[in-house]
Structure 1
Amino acid sequence: METLVKPKTTQKIDLINGVFTASEASDIINSVLKVKINFHKISRLSITEGNDKEECIYDNKRINELINEQHIAKEFFSQARLNGKKLKMRSVIQIEMED
């Protein structure tokens, strides 16, 4: 009798899990945000290449949202630093296959 193995359709990545100084947390979060911003900028560039009239409103909106999150995070980390607080961070990336 042959057993069929069900293919894996989800994946979890435990990306961040620990207690950090404000400076460490700032470095981690800023690095992640920079990667996401650059991803969207490159996507926008590939869409608009050869078409300078293309606005790509969606990508610009997401870039602006991420830049705003950088500013909010900077303020938060400054407050934590001023108050001598450590920061507990946890981030799990959940990936699921879609049809």
Structure 2
Amino acid sequence: METKERVKKEQATQHLQLVKGDFTTSEASHVIMSLIDGKINFHKFLRFQNWERDHQCDTNPIDLRIAELEKEKEVARDFIDYARSEGKDLKIDGVLKISLSE
């Protein structure tokens, strides 16, 4: 088995294929909700860490991001419900693009 070539320092951007394929609405719901919930939990943990260091810290930016993710979760849930009502499966193409920060 061939191993993938190591990332070169010159490569400033990488694309990681996290999810790809056709899914039933139940499978799609599980995958999408798990990803969003993981991200929400990450931000909640980050907010808690910041609060532990400084009880007076401004958690508003993190709170706003959590609220955005909760809205995205509702949008996804509504779309999945629509697909279910139409008797359709869902195609997911989830690419994570990472790059070096300036």
Q: TM-score, normalised by structure 2?
A: 0.83
What percentage of residue pairs aligned between the two structures are identical? 38
Cα distance in structure 1, aligned partners of 2:9 and 2:39:
32
Cα distance in structure 1, aligned partners of 2:87 and 2:20:
20
Higher gyration radius (CA): 1
Q: What residue in structure 1 maps to residue 32 of structure 2?
A: 29
Q: Does 1:96 align with 2:99?
A: yes
State the 4+ residue runs in structure 1 displaced beyond 6 angstroms.
none
Structural RMSD (CA): 1.7
Cα distance in structure 1, aligned partners of 2:46 and 2:80:
30
Return the offset for 1:54: 3.0
Q: What is the letter of the counterpart of residue 86 of structure 2?
A: N
Cα distance in structure 1, aligned partners of 2:66 and 2:101:
25
Aligned match of 1:44 in 43, 47, 70?
A: 47
